Structure 1
Amino acid sequence: MTPFTVWCVLTGLAVLAELLTSTFYLLLVAFGLMAGALASWAGASLSSQVLIAAFTGGALVLAWHLWRRRHPAEAPAGQNPDVNLDIGSTVQVSHWESDGRATVQYRGATWSAEWRASPTAPVAAPGPHRIVEVVGNRLVLQAI
């Protein structure tokens, strides 16, 4: 087998592993392996092929890692105000049950609500609360 064929087989195996594991980093390693294949096709020496493959794959992995670090994943849909427009709205709670649940009127309907402790309000008390999350058809509230 020619070195070009070996590089292509390794690239294919890396892509297959990425498809099976859904690890984007393996796809970047596959790009590095393909760079080694292209270097082989261009007639570079074996040591140059390995260096080009390692540098390309490593640089892509590092670049992706740094990009992901600067762009954290979005909040889950139940906590993301861009997805759920109820997040940040206020409701009035007249009475809390002993288990930290309440029934509130919101948008013309009765909703089940639960209380989430905050540093400023460690105990559930009646009054205005802000919606911080929606879990199914239940509002998660925090005191204002």
Structure 2
Amino acid sequence: MVDWMIWMLLAGGLVILEMFIGTFYLLMIAIGLASGALMALAGEPRGMQFLVAAVVGIVCTVVLRRSRWGRKSRSDAARDPNVNLDIGQAIEVSEWAPDHGLPRRARVMYRGALWDVELEQGVPAVAGTFVIREIRGSRLIVSGRT
């Protein structure tokens, strides 16, 4: 089998594996392998094929890493409704307990258990229905009466 065919078979195998994994990094390495195949097709020696495949694969991976598709979106899991399904749910607070003169905390029954509830800044502490905005440990941070 000719060198360029081996390079292309390896690149094709990585592309297929990429489809199962779902990241673009194997695709970048496959581009490097395809560039090695082009060097083999051009008649370059094996050392040059490996060098070009490695350099192109590394450069493509670095470019991907610096692009918007390579960066992980860093969101606060305590406020992300995709991570925690309790975010956005409504709870009923019957009364707020005074905390150093400021009624900012309460205990409520939510999902069959007692939870500590803390009111966000700037929201009036009156009894009623509130929306869960964040979860910090075992405390529900609420705001915006509905």
Question: What TM-score, normalized by structure 2, do the two folds share?
Answer: 0.56
Query: Is structure 2 residue 123 aligned with structure 1 residue 132?
Result: no
Alignment of 1:1-144 (within 5 A): 1-67=1-67, 71-73=71-73, 75=75, 79=80, 93-95=93-95, 96-97=106-107, 100-101=108-109, 127=125, 131-133=132-134, 141-142=140-141
- For residues 117 and 63 of structure 1, the distance between their equivalents in structure 2, rounded to whole angstroms, comes to 44
The 1:68–1:94 alpha-carbon spacing in structure 2 relative to 1, beyond 3 Å, is same
Q: After superposition, what is the alpha-carbon deviation per residue over 1:50-83, rounded to whole angstroms, capped at 9, x for unaligned?
A: 111000111111222344699441647x726xxx
The 1:79–1:56 alpha-carbon spacing in structure 2 relative to 1, beyond 3 Å, is same
The 1:71–1:22 alpha-carbon spacing in structure 2 relative to 1, beyond 3 Å, is closer
Percentage of pairs with the same residue: 28
Cα pair 1:14 1:30 within 8 Å, conserved: yes
Q: Secondary structure at the match of 2:133?
A: strand
Q: Secondary structure at the match of 2:37?
A: helix
Cα pair 1:130 1:141 within 8 Å, conserved: no
- For residues 59 and 116 of structure 1, the distance between their equivalents in structure 2, rounded to whole angstroms, comes to 50
Q: CA RMSD in A?
A: 4.3
Cα pair 2:14 2:27 within 8 Å, conserved: yes
The 1:14–1:116 alpha-carbon spacing in structure 2 relative to 1, beyond 3 Å, is farther
Unaligned stretches of 5+ in structure 2? 82-86, 96-105
- For residues 43 and 52 of structure 1, the distance between their equivalents in structure 2, rounded to whole angstroms, comes to 13
The 1:39–1:101 alpha-carbon spacing in structure 2 relative to 1, beyond 3 Å, is farther
The 1:70–1:36 alpha-carbon spacing in structure 2 relative to 1, beyond 3 Å, is closer
The 1:70–1:46 alpha-carbon spacing in structure 2 relative to 1, beyond 3 Å, is closer
Q: Secondary structure at the match of 2:141?
A: strand
Cα pair 2:133 2:142 within 8 Å, conserved: no
What is the deviation of 1:143? 5.8
Q: After superposition, what is the alpha-carbon deviation per residue over 1:3-33, rounded to whole angstroms, capped at 9, x for unaligned?
A: 1101110111111221222232111111110
More helix by share: 1
